Amino acid sequence: MKVAVINFSGNVGKSTVARHLLAPRLNNAEVIPVESINSDGTDETAIRGKQFGELQEYLQTLDDAVIDIGASNVEDFVKLMKQYKGSHEDFDFFVVPTVPATKQQRDTISTVEALANLGVPAKKIRLLFNMVDLEESPERIFSGLFEYQRESKSFTLKPEAVIHVNDIYGKLKGSKTGIREILADETDYKERIKTAKDADEKLHFAQMLSIKRLAAGVSEELDAVFKALFK
């Protein structure tokens, strides 16, 4: 499966969605960032939007891939998809993350409209609610997007496709370690805390234990979100 993560707006968590939700559940698919400067702090090789032709050729060689399209390159990317007639068909889905902020919700509508104008069918445009407080209802804070979907029917919306606010994403920002790698770590950090040589070492192991506990909870949520997003 090849999935493009796209939104005209920045600060919607596109890189988080690509790295922690999609790639691990798509046969550890390669994440290809399309961005002049990666906002997630990683040193992955970035591909600028105007190199779309090379990207399109490379995609033909892959079975699974996640394309993380940075906000500064989305406009070029959409224009080039229009120029390369039918290139949008190379993607099985376009995942559009959105967050509660009003500007980002407006940009989400613009993104959906741009994709629909390219000829991308509604079933291939999947909205994902991101950075939502546990106490909040998507139907309430994204009411405008629910209404837009009912009127336009130009994209697919699942109320249960929600990623809630979680400290782990901030802790992993700039790190190459993924949630599944954290869960695969069999270190007994409680025992390490007991045998730590000093306070700093004890604190380090306590932090690792905390991250592992967060990872266990968020992994279950992401499994459910992935299932809801593509069912």
Residue 185 neighbours by CB under 8 Å, 6+ apart: 208, 212
pLDDT band at residue 40 using 50, 70 and 90 as cut-offs: very low
pLDDT band at residue 37 using 50, 70 and 90 as cut-offs: very low
- Tell me what pLDDT residue 231 has: 86
Domain boundaries along the sequence of the chain: 2-168
Question: What is the percent of the chain with per-residue pLDDT over 90, rounded to a whole number?
Answer: 80
pLDDT of 148-162, one tens digit each?
A: 999 999 999 999 999
Superfamily of domain 2-168: P-loop containing nucleotide triphosphate hydrolases (3.40.50.300)
pLDDT of 43-89, one tens digit each?
A: 444 555 568 888 889 999 999 999 999 888 898 899 999 989 999 99
For all residues of the chain together, what is the average pLDDT? 91
- pTM listed for this prediction: 0.89
pLDDT band at residue 191 using 50, 70 and 90 as cut-offs: very high
